[in-house]
Amino acid sequence: MGVLTRQDITRYYQWLLEREPEPEAIASYVANGATRTQLVQTILQSGEFSQRLRRLGAAPEEPASNPVVDLKDSQFWRRYVPFWNPESRVPFVETGFQTYRVTTADGEVTIKSMLSSLELALLYALAKDYWTGEGEIVDLGCLYGLTTRCLAEGMALNRRVPDNRKLRRIYAYDLFLAEDYSWWSQGSPTVHAGSWFSEFLSVNRDHLAAIAPCPGDLLHMNWGTKPIEILMIDAAKSWDLNDWIIRKMFPRLIPGRSVVIQQDQVHYLEYWISIAMEYFSDKFEYIDTIYGSSAYYLCTAPISEEEAHRALKALPFEEKERLLLAAIARSRPSAQAALTGTHVKLLADHGQHDRARSVLAQMSTDRLSEDTAYDFSAIARSDKASLTTLLERG
């Protein structure tokens, strides 16, 4: 926890005064070798202490931006997940499945996102505590813009980068078209025009100075030569889009610094993501996979223009399958069953329907982790049902 401040001690004693016969309990801990400092730290980190602080009207401060973030320690983003830390300053309140309440310059609005609150907390943590300003932040496929808002809010609270170096550092790409998403989009006064861009601007109005909105078809857009420090990918919805991202973005990653978040990696439809990340496995270190569907990586070696221009769709089927199975084996064990769906879809897309049915039959939907962050059983069940229907249709 670090050095205790006077405010921490004051809060502790304020809390302690309500705790009869707590002093007797503390004496027993001390008698068994616990120091009072350790006890204070334990109390300050407890859920009960947080609840009492809320009743007293004093919320504990979030950790300051840390110059050294251990990407492998999930606490760097877990501490911002609201249902684990109600005092988190993330800019959303989860109100239902894929539905969030956000306070904007236009008041409170309800907005949808396909990301879980865990994934949103990861983006917020990366922008707040990891980003150094060495490269840009790119948000590919931001839909209504809650991912962009989390990145922008985190950036605003980042204490290492001066405010004058935060202008137009977040590039937000999306078609912003409601077309093909009528089953998911929400009603609004402007959606009749067929675009979500108005909602994106509303959700991010307070932070537009930090954002470069890039509406349009990614395949007809560009990037340039600016280095990229955080690359959030939720736009790799086809082989062509995946190849565009690799060609345009991967050569701009900073070895030893850049983090890539592949939001669709667990979802069975986008199996090319796992193939691509395994193809470049000597350029990335796999860090983790978290609920809903995001895997994230640290770039460890430069990727040349020539390497990035390899057309992965043209790889022989056997090589695609080898890469995919290696990527599944590399992933978090509790995610591997859900990732089996990507193998089924690869087989189906290459006409191997009998093998696809055999692999699908063995796909587990059991809960393989008690940790909410690593429980992919619901995704496995949904994907297995969708794949069963797909294979029944031939």
Is the pLDDT assigned to residue 18 strictly greater than 80? no
More confident residue, 250 or 62: 250
Tens digits of residue pLDDT in 347-369: 999 999 999 999 999 999 999 99
Q: Name, in order, each residue with C-beta under 8 angstroms of 99's C-beta and a sequence gap of 6 or more.
A: 110, 111, 112
Q: Which helix (H) or strand (E) is 295 found in, with range?
A: strand 294-299
Tens digits of residue pLDDT in 164-184: 999 999 999 999 987 877 666
- Kindly report the pTM of this predicted structure: 0.83
Tens digits of residue pLDDT in 76-102: 999 999 988 888 999 999 988 889 999
Tens digits of residue pLDDT in 46-60: 555 555 555 555 444
Residue-by-residue DSSP string for 314-363: GS-HHHHHHHHHHHHHHS-HHHHHHHHHHHHHHHHHTT-HHHHHHHHHT-
Q: Residue 69 — pLDDT band, cuts 50, 70, 90?
A: confident
The amino acid that residue 145 corresponds to is: G
Q: Return mean pLDDT, the chain.
A: 88
Q: Which helix (H) or strand (E) is 382 found in, with range?
A: helix 377-392
Tens digits of residue pLDDT in 298-314: 999 999 999 999 999 99
